[in-house]
Structure 1
Amino acid sequence: MPLGALRPTPLVEQAIDRLREQITAGEWPVGTRLPGETSLAQALGVGRSTVREALRALAGAGLVRARQGAGVFVIATEPEENWSVQLLRAAVVDVYEVRMMVEVEAVQLAAARRTDADLTAIEAALAGRAEASGGSDAQFVDADIALHAAVVAAAHNPVLTALFTEFVPALRQGLIDLVRLLDLRRGDPADGADGSDPAQGADGAAGHAALVAAVARGDAAAAGRALRDELERTLSQLQSVGP
């Protein structure tokens, strides 16, 4: 299978794809030393810097490894799954359990660290969630996630923010399906989301308002309790409908 010259753009992505195809197709078996950068660059019709970036990406995917003074060798024919892919493949209940651990800590930090600008953003997101209650299930879930994201951002910890961002794709569809399956948003407002807490309302508006109020007054303990109660209710619902 000849490599062949690449199209003009985007060169690095094309180089990654072309080299990965050669590896996964078995053209370069495990243990094989790849041609040098110059040879690969000529075969692909790109510069050595493009080849270097492509090899770096393939190394990050666990397909190749550079050996000092010896070259770059194939070490696997299938790429390792990154964190995002693992989350997408995981059961939504498992992801939600970890989300609880991360987000409850984040909201307590947010209550202690939030700025006036953070509070403005959080209150706007709470209002957006209320407005979305009249929209589609997807719009409602997206607005709910946006509120939680605003609270996590107020913790001013980039690692927590990144973790929450990674959870979102794995959770979003599961939550949309849950809302549709249990008809959570169209129940009697006098009933709780899980039938056990009438104060919450069908869409958990009261619980979210309590969460925002706790963050606003800087009460970390109350904010943590409010969020844990909300997430535990949702987790219980997820567990009740199964995978």
Structure 2
Amino acid sequence: MTSPLRPLRPSPLVEQAAQHLREQITGGQWPVGTRLPGETTLARELGVGRSTVREAVRALAGAGLVRARQGAGVFVIATRPVEDWRTRLRQAAVNDVYEVRTMIEVQAARLAALRRTDEDVAVLDAAMAARTAACTRSDEEFVDADIALHAAIVAAAHNPVLTALYADFMPALREGLISLVSLLDVRAEDRERGYAAHAALVGAVKDGDPDAAVHEVRTEIAHTLRTLNGR
């Protein structure tokens, strides 16, 4: 039995309308293949304008729930929204993020060692100094400095796709690292917070030694993965 739609509160109307329509779909009231009521009908039942309904339906289409058919109307094509890349990353386990991070950073370190410029070297030196200075600061400040250093290495690879992919990883990586550092009290176990490993990585990139750069980044990330898996 279909549950009735109900009038909405004033704002934000588009988000509310999309949510109510989504509930009809995900709750099974409108199965796959169902044709949605027309804009006029939906607008009247939800107590909003047709333009609001149109935007809400567009949001459902973006989520992969509905599709418009020319001259036939809008039909339900799925009962679960398609998760975009950033949503999946936010929901992913830290361990899974780290495994993919390894794949990205290993190749980035190799390319950075081969392609780094004098400007990249200056950026790496500054990022390494900032990371060292952040060792005595808050966990959030330290993690931000650590990620900035790794991002500088990725940028030195001079591959815009790789750089953009790493940028997508950074929010999930930051959240996981802050939780990890706080949980494990890394400061007590290692007051330098991995200074030697990161200095060796930066040194390998600066020296133009791709094999050494790969070795250092593999070793550094593998250590973190072992820590994750052992706790």
Structure 2 CA distance, aligned partners of 1:130 and 1:103?
20
The TM-score with structure 1 as length reference comes to: 0.76
Structure 2 CA distance, aligned partners of 1:14 and 1:68?
26
The TM-score with structure 2 as length reference comes to: 0.79
Contact 1:6 1:14 in 2 (8 A): no
Q: 1:44 to 1:77 in 2, by over 3 A?
A: farther
Structure 1 CA distance, aligned partners of 2:89 and 2:143?
19
The answer to which of 149-158 and 82-91 deviates more is 82-91
Structure 2 CA distance, aligned partners of 1:12 and 1:116?
50
Structure 1 CA distance, aligned partners of 2:142 and 2:229?
21
- Secondary structure at 1:65 match in 2: strand
Q: 2:215 aligns with which of 187, 206, 225?
A: 225
Structure 1 CA distance, aligned partners of 2:70 and 2:15?
25
| Residues 1:45 and 2:64 are matched in the alignment | no
* Cα shift readout 1:171-221 (whole Å, capped 9, x = no counterpart): 3333233323433223366xxxxxxxxxxxx41111111212222232222
Partner of 1:139: 141
Structure 2 CA distance, aligned partners of 1:168 and 1:13?
27
Structure 1 CA distance, aligned partners of 2:217 and 2:75?
49
| Residues 1:117 and 2:107 are matched in the alignment | no
Which amino acid is 2:97 matched to? V
Alignment of 1:45-124 (within 5 A): 45=49, 47=51, 54-124=56-126
* Cα shift readout 1:89-118 (whole Å, capped 9, x = no counterpart): 332222211110111101211222333333
Q: CA RMSD in A?
A: 3.0
Structure 2 CA distance, aligned partners of 1:114 and 1:236?
30
Structure 2 CA distance, aligned partners of 1:178 and 1:171?
10
Aligned identity (percent) is 63
Deviation of the 1:157 alpha carbon: 2.2
- Secondary structure at 2:89 match in 1: helix
The answer to which of 37-46 and 23-32 deviates more is 37-46
**How many residues of Structure 1 are paired with residues of Structure 2 in the alignment?**
225
Which amino acid is 1:45 matched to? G
Unaligned runs of 5+ in 1: 190-201
| Residues 1:33 and 2:23 are matched in the alignment | no
| Residues 1:240 and 2:230 are matched in the alignment | yes
The answer to which of 219-228 and 126-135 deviates more is 219-228
Deviation of the 1:168 alpha carbon: 2.7
Q: 1:53 to 1:118 in 2, by over 3 A?
A: farther
* Cα shift readout 1:5-26 (whole Å, capped 9, x = no counterpart): 965x7x7656544543453455
Contact 1:6 1:15 in 2 (8 A): no
